[in-house]
Structures are given as structure tokens and as C-alpha cells.
Amino acid sequence: MSTTYLKTLFIIKFLSVTFALMAQTNPLLEPWTGPYNGVPPFDKVRVEHFKPALEAAMASYLHEINAISTNPSKPDFKNTLGALERAGSVYKKIITISGIWGSNMSSPEFQLVEKEMAPKMAALNDKIFQNAKLFHKIEAIYNQREKSGLTAEQKRLAWVYHNNFVRAGAKLNATAKAKLSRINQELAGLFTSFSQNVLYDENNQYMTMSEDQTGGLPQSFKDAAANAAADRGLYGSYIVTNTRSSVDPFLTYSTDRSLREKAWKMFVNRGDGGGERDNNALITKILQLRMERANLLGYKTHAHWRLENTMAKTPENAMALLETVWKPAVSRVKEEVKDMQAMADAEGAGIKIEPWDYRFYAEKVRKQRYDLDFNEVKQYMQLDKLRDGMFWVAGELFGFDFSPVDSVPVYHPDVKVWEVTSRITGEHVGLWYFDPYARTGKRSGAWMNAYRRQEKLDGSVTTIVSNNSNFVRGNHREPVLISWDDAETLFHEFGHALHGLSSNVTYPLLSGTAVARDYVEFPSQLLEHWLSTPEVLQKFALHYQTGKPIPAELVKKIENASTFNQGFATTEYLASALIDMKLHLAGNKKIDPDQFEKETLESLGMPKEIVMRHRTPHFTHVFASDGYSAGYYSYLWSDVITADAYGAFTDAGGPYDSTIAKRLNDYIFSVGNTIDPAEGYKKFRGRNPETNALMIKRGFDPVVADPNKERMKVKDMPLEKRMKNKL
């Protein structure tokens, strides 16, 4: 046995003793204890624990990696890939809690820790991926995977490890590896600064109103705005916070046009206000470093590197889809603006429709054309009832039951926890944490987290997942009411959670939502469908005062208006996706983000009445990490699959068909990354996805074939046929 290997084992033993001593004062280094395979010790964690815990865990993880790489035994699945799956367990738990803290409980003190540690964590990753001895062992197993008696899942794991290492630079020479590590560390610091700048604007910018400036606003919004003001000590005032959940409804209902303009500009200019919190210079540097890294790794651009392992495969394929939908979307916007302008002219408003008018006049047109007032719909959208509706859907489709638990520590009193069990076997499946409300220190938007991935490597380990939102509390004596759009988002994020909860794999690297970027949104977008099913609406869309279910005629109006305003919704999204892709295909050009955004949108023919859903200076999907960089197109790519997949249920007779639900679980939700996603989808659907369903869902004009092979436009289709194919 080699001296190096023995020294490494001794160091690991020493570190384990040191860990035990440190854990007496640092809960982040303690094993997760308590019920349900252990839970995060949120009740004990403080900001001052993070840095020393991370430093200790990083050292331990690196020594574990060195023990694997210097093991003198012949490399095999167990002593290499199995060992890698077990390595760094303490470190992985700490970075999970750190990520939760940064998204939900950020503070100036914690942000200092983030800035210091982000480059160090990037350096650790590079030390692992650039470990030549380790890669040679992985490569040996990968090359022999078809001859070594491995299971299908083990072969997939070997492929994923080998692929990840190669794409991270494992085959580079020493000089190139050092350069790559420098780039990754610099990017990690820039990502942290970018996200902190956006969070600063969201937390510190707001618009104050008096009572006489609240014209048109629903009482539920006024209650929430009054509470937001009271939280800041501004009693008797009303506040529009700098988050989508506050700004969007204000733009929809406020009759004060000057305030709508002010709120709109506040929101779209996050990260773009000049001074030390401005993100433009950071974006320029991030783009340059990404291009340098891509070239170093042998790729034409960052986009080509990012898309290699996706379903799209190439930026050209992704762009082809985006551009196909762009023209009909813009065409629809022109129709929508024409209708809104006519409405404003008829009122004698004396204005030309601007971006801060779009939601306001779209709502007016909706009311006139469909007799549909979404503020009326909101009276039936109680947050707690809809949450129960999601539980019911999970039971019908996946056989899950949710029971509240009080014995689990949480990081904030807003957070509630449910145990998930199988109604078939009665066994524990996992935990679901729900953090629904906006607050200072919490980033905007809605998301899902996996606190712990399901696995069966050393016995069954169940998952812990969370859903996080930014709903604004209203009158504490009344239930929280949310919009129809927010209800769809609620179901969307719960779809991610169900993807994690349904996981049934052996290896944590392949578990749950760890799938291709342009496939991960498919299960979540699919679940949005179940909100509008009659079973959910009749049981859970209950009026907050009378308790009566939403009337059938109101539901019919929602169905009739299902494709209304799709020009706006699709174009604002596509603009962001196209800018993302074009930024990362721009080569070595030094980019001024504001100028690039302006010029590119003009060349695309972007309607001036609409702004990107995520303007570049606050596009956290793309610039707070590599996450969705050159990948924001994924939502549309997944939407193609989603639109086709829901057809499997409607073709079978309904959204709760047990046979289709079982196939959905067996081939999509439970398999994680153990099989190629295209293969999994084909097993579920019996064929590859068809794209026509997407255009039908959005109600655009491109022709589709009817059952008699005649060609007709979507808008001319009977309503019941459109709704059958509706996403």
C-alpha cells in the first residue's frame, strides 16, 4: 500500500476527530439528526458558523478525493464511482444550507461570507475535476463499462462522471488547467456580486403611496401594501415593493398612470441604476470570461459548451425554435396593442400605449371581450386552499399523502413542513418545506430546492424538498389571495418538488431533478395543467368569504380567454431567451449590455410596448450562476414536450387517468437521470413529441392539420378542440 495513500487515510482520520470536536460548537458540522433520516439543524445555525464550517469541510472533502485517487487497488466501480458518491457528504450539506440562507435569509454579514467563500469553493471544484489520477480511474471504468457487468444505472453513472470531468477540463494540460481555475474563481466572485446587487435593489427600492393614490387597486392588494409599509415603519402609507408579485398587480389595476410608469421603471431597472450596485460592467466581464473558458475547453462559444449535453444539442437548434415562435408572437402583440389603443381612444385617454399601460389595458380588453375580471377570479384563489389542491393532485397522480409536522426545525417562522407518505405502502417518502411569503433578505421569484436527494446507495435515504414563493401578506385576519398567474406558478414549482419526491434511483448524482436543463422544466410545466381541472376548481377554488366553489360560468370565461394576451406573455419571454443566446454567441466582442440589448431588440423588431421579462442587468437566471446561461430557451423547449405530453391524458379520457399517470411516474418523474430523457419520453408517450401542440396552446396563427387532413388556422378551431389540446 502506497505511503501517499496511508498518509491520506491518516489525515482523514485526524480530520474526523477534529470534526467531532468542532461540531460541539458548530452545528453545520454535526450529522443531521432527528426523524426522517435526519433534518437540517436550522434552529442552531448562525451566520458566524458558515465560514469555519466550509473551510473544515472543504479540507476534509479534498482529502477524501485524494484517498480515492491514490488508492493503489485496481480501479473499479465500488472503489471509485461508489466512493465518489459518498465523498464530501458534510461539505455538500453545508453548501446546501448556505444556498438556502443566501436565497431566503441574506444579510450584509452573510453576503461578506458569500463573497469570500465563493471563489474558494470554485477552486475546490477545480481541484477535484482536474485531479489527473482520479480522472484516469474514472476513464478506465468508463471505457470498460459495457464489459464489466454493470447495471444500466451504473453505466449511466459512469457516463455522467466521465462526461462531467471532460467538460470541466480534465484532459487539459497543467497550464490550461491553472488558467481554467483562475477563470472559474473569478466568475464565482462575479456571480455573487451580481446576485447581491439585484437583491439590494429588490430590498431597498420601493414606491410609497397615500390613500388617494390607490385608485383601482383591489382591497387585497391595498392590505398587502399597507402591511409592507408598516413593516418599514411607514404606518398609514402603502408600498409597492420591487418584486414581481407586487409590481405586476399594481400595473394591472392602478388607475394612476404616472405611478404605473414609476413602478414599472423601478422594476425593469433593477441592477441598472449606475453606481457601485450597477451590474453592466459585471456582465461584460462574465461574458468575456465565459468565452475564454469555452475556447480553452475547445468550444466555439459558451453557448456551444452549455448545450452539448442538452436535448437541443446545439445553439442553432435552440435558436430555430425561438425564431419559429417569435414572428407569430410579435404579430399577436400588434393585434393586442391595436385593441388596447382602441380602448384607450374610446375612453378619451389621449395616450399612446406604453409598457406601463400594457397590463392595465389588457385587463380592460379582457373584461370587455370575455366578460372576465381576474380580480373576481382572485376571490377564489386562496393560497392555503390551493396548496391543499396541490396535495390532492399529488395523491391522485402519484399516490402521495401530505401531513403537517411541527417537530422539524426551520430557518424562519414563515416556513411550514409536511411529511410525504405513500398511500399505497404507507412508507415515508420525504419532507416538503413551504416558504410562501416575501421578506427582506429573500430573493424575488419562486423556486424549488432539494435539501437532500433521494438515494439507495447505503440503504434508503429519503428526499427533502422545498417550494419558495414571494406572496405578500394582506390583512392578517383574511386568507392570502393570489392571482391566477401566481396559482399557475405555484403548481409549476410544486411540479419540480414532485419530480424530486418521486425519485427512485440508487445514486445521488442521478437523483430527482438532476436532468438536462431543457428537460427539467418539463415536469413542472406539465403540472400547471391540473390547476384548471374541474376536480381541483370545484374542491379548492373556494370563495374566501362564502366558501362556495368558483362558478362554472366563471371557469368557462377563463377557458374562453385561455389564449388571450399570449402575444405579450410569449414575446416578453422570447426576448429574454433570444438576448441570452445572442449574448453567448457574440464571440470575443466586448459587449456593452445596455447597448447590446437595445440594438438586438431593435433588429428583432421587438414591440416598443413590451420589455424583456428579465432585462440583462437583473437576469439572475443567466448571470448569478452558469445555471440557465445560454439556456433560458429551455422553458420553451420543455413547453413543446409539455404540450404534447398532456395530450396523452386527454387522449386517454382525462387528466387523472391512472394508466397514463403510472407511465408518467415510471418513465419521467421517478427515473432522474438514469436514462436519456428522449428515451424516457418516448417510453412514456410511445413516440417523440410533436410540436404542433405548442402553437395550438398559445393560440397562434400557424396552420395545423385537422383530423380530416385539411389545413385550418388555430383561431378558427372550435373552442372545445383547442381546449382539448391546451397546455
Q: How far apart are CA 624 and CA 521, in angstroms?
A: 19
Q: What are the cell numbers at 190? A: 462575479
Q: What are the cell numbers at 462? A: 429519503
User: HEC profile for 528-587?
Assistant: HHHHHCHHHHHHHCECCCCCCECCHHHHHHHHHCCCCCHHHHHHHHHHHHHHHHHHHCCC
Which residue in 30, 139, 419, 493 is the catalytic one?
493
What separation, in Å, do the N-terminal and C-terminal C-alpha atoms of the chain show?
A: 61
User: If DSSP codes are grouped into helix, strand and coil, which group holds residue 305?
Assistant: helix
**Strand ranges across the sheet with 447-452:** 400-405, 416-422, 428-437, 463-471, 447-452
Q: How far apart are CA 662 and CA 655, in angstroms?
A: 12
Buried residues in 94-114 as b, exposed as e (16+ CB within 10 A): bbbbbebbbbbbbeeebbebb
Q: How far apart are CA 440 and CA 202, in angstroms?
A: 9
Q: What are the cell numbers at 632? A: 433560458
Q: How far apart are CA 297 and CA 295, in angstroms?
A: 5
Task: Judge whether 559 counts as a catalytic residue.
Answer: no
Q: How far apart are CA 399 and CA 422, in angstroms?
A: 6
Q: How far apart are CA 498 and CA 483, in angstroms?
A: 22
Among 206, 199, 261, 245, CA closest to 474: 245
Among 435, 446, 533, 424, CA closest to 245: 446
Do the beta carbons of residue 7 and residue 67 sit within 8 Å? no
Q: How far apart are CA 373 and CA 363, in angstroms?
A: 7
User: If DSSP codes are grouped into helix, strand and coil, which group holds residue 615?
Assistant: coil
Q: How far apart are CA 690 and CA 646, in angstroms?
A: 12
Q: Give the CA-trace dihedral at 28, 520, 128, 124, to 10 degrees.
A: -50
- Which stretches within 455-551 are classed as H helix? 484-501, 517-527, 534-540
Catalytic residues: 493
